[in-house]
Amino acid sequence: RETALEARGKHMFESLKLSRVFWLSIITVYVFFIVAFYSLTAEFKNSYYSENAEQLYAAIKLTSVRFVGISIILIGYPFILLRNTQHAKYLTIALTVWVIAMYIDDHVVLYRMIEYSDRGLFALVQWCRPIVIISLVCMSIEFTLRPHPVD
């Protein structure tokens, strides 16, 4: 027999009518972020290679600002998703565009200034960035193309 809380939680997520691909994508994004955060905090000394202290400071500052922004978004995202799918749609699309822009910017500008470690967990995080972008694109497509109940 279900408790009232279990029934309420089950109803909240079922009422969203999102596909398994969406849920797999959102799990991928969250796991990636947790692993990326861990790799930067646990392997901090091994993450960056730079002989210029000013460039190193700029890279660390940029990474910190990005992580604060993404942390706020990822903490608030489930609440927005449960309260208003239209706002979640716009936030997902904006986050997708931002992550793609960061990825392009990193390859065009940042990687010329700072050398990142090519070993360990940090290298795996860098390698997985396109997978996260694909996951965010799948989430955006799901919101854009599938009809959702009105909030």
Long-range contacts of 45-50 (CB under 8 A, 24+ apart): 46/117, 46/119, 46/120, 46/122, 47/116, 47/117, 47/122, 48/114, 48/115, 48/116, 48/117, 49/114, 49/115, 49/116, 49/117, 50/113, 50/114, 50/115
What is d(CA 101, CA 69) in angstroms, rounded to the nearest whole number?
14
SS3 for 115? strand
| 47-77 residue pLDDT tens | 555 566 676 677 777 778 888 888 898 899 9
| 76-127 residue pLDDT tens | 999 998 888 889 999 999 999 999 998 888 777 766 666 666 667 777 888 8
* All residues at 6 or more sequence positions from 116 whose CB lies less than 8 Å from its CB, including other chains: 47, 48, 49, 122, 123, 126
The answer to whether the beta carbons of residues 64 and 53 sit under 8 Å apart is no
Q: Can you tell me which residue has the tokens 């922004």?
A: 69
pLDDT the model gives residue 3: 57
SS3 for 3? coil
Beta bridge pairs of residue 43: none
Q: Look up the pTM and report it.
A: 0.77
